Amino acid sequence: MAIHKKEEFTQKEQDLAAFAKALSHPARIAILKVLAQRNECICGEIVDVLPLAQSTVSQHLKELKLAGLIDGTVDGPKSCYCINWKAFQKFNAEFNTLFTNLKLKNEKSCC
C-alpha cells in the first residue's frame, strides 16, 4: 500500500467509511447487540457470549470506542461499556442521508 490514499477523499467520505469500518466485523455488531440488551453497563459478560478470546474481544471494544460508537469507563478490574447513542444517531442519520442522496439522483438501474 506504500502510501495511504484515504486522506485524499472528502472528510465526510472518510467519516462515513470509518463508521462503516467499525461495523464491518460480525463480532462488533454482536457486541453492540449485547450492549443494547442491557440497561446498565456491561462489565465483562461480552466475552462469555462471543466465540472469541478475551484479548480479542478487548481489541474489538477498543475499536468501537475509537470509532466513538461506545463509551467505556475503566473501573479498576471491571470495565463499563455502553453505546454512545448520540454518536450512533448521528452516524445513522448521515448514513440515511447518503442513501437518500444517492437515490435522489437515480431510481432506475440500467445494467
Partner DNA sequence: GGCCATTATCGTATTTTTACGATTAATTTT
Partner DNA sequence: AAAATTAATCGTAAAAATACGATAATGGCC
Candidates 2, 40, 48, 55: give the one binding a second copy (CB under 8 A).
Answer: 40
Work out whether 20 is an interface residue with a second copy (CB under 8 A): yes
**How many whole angstroms separate alpha carbon 70 and alpha carbon 30?**
13
How far CA 45 is from CA of 5, 61, 70, 80, 109, in Å, comes to 39, 13, 16, 11, 46
Work out whether 45 is an interface residue with a second copy (CB under 8 A): no
| Chain residues in the site for a second copy (CB under 8 A) | 5-6, 8-10, 13-14, 16-18, 20-30, 32-33, 36-41, 51-52, 71-73, 80-86, 88, 92, 95-96, 98-99, 101-111
Q: Which residues bind DNA (CB under 7 A)?
A: 1-6, 21, 24-25, 27, 43-44, 47, 52-63, 72, 74-79, 81
